[in-house]
Structure 1
Amino acid sequence: MPPCSNCGGFRAVAITTGQRLPDTSRETAVVHCTAHHPDQPGNAPALYRIPDAALLLNLSRSVIYDLMRTGRLRTVSEGRSRRIPASAIHEYVALLEREAEACDAPAPH
């Protein structure tokens, strides 16, 4: 099987974002490829931070917060932190697919 176009055969890819950290280094998000490496234990995190979910869904942070506010993207809290479960990301993508199918369905005559 050839490596997928997302990861080039690597289990995880580090992406440097434009966000500056207090020590002036750049924030780095690690994205795991579950499509090419589904059998790797612990391959994907169970909970995603907001910036990581935004990278994963290719959306802006603002859109992620809007989805959270409107209830389209389910979140959990741990202490003062808000996280997005991996299952919620899959549910959101499935919701988008169902909505797209409903729009593409022919109208009844």
Structure 2
Amino acid sequence: AKDNRIRFYTIGLGANQMQVDSILGPITVNAPDDLDEKILEKLANESGGMFFRAKSAKDLTRVYEKINQLEPVKIDQTYLQPKTPLYPWLLAAAFVLLLIIRVIQWR
């Protein structure tokens, strides 16, 4: 990826502790330990990108904004609209009409 100038921006999602609503009221739950930040950091660093940690939806929004600043995307505003020429149909209709007029005059 680095040879092709492709950068990876990795994001670790999830809070260390979360409040979960239950029948008995809010309960504090520890997040699972399967988020391997070291691998995400290594992948990002080796490709020239960055690792981000997002513990909430607001954090994730900020991460996306930061990535947009680091990697701006130029959007091409050119819209292609296919054009179908209609003159062959008009030309054919005029030719048929001319042919009909000649046949009527010939009789």
**TM-score bracket for this pair, using the shorter chain length:** under 0.3
Higher relative helix content: 2
Higher relative strand content: 1
Q: TM-score, normalised by structure 2?
A: 0.21
Question: Relative contact order: is structure 1 or structure 2 higher (C-alpha 8 Å, sep ≥ 6)?
Answer: 2
Larger Rg belongs to:
2
Q: TM-score, normalised by structure 1?
A: 0.21
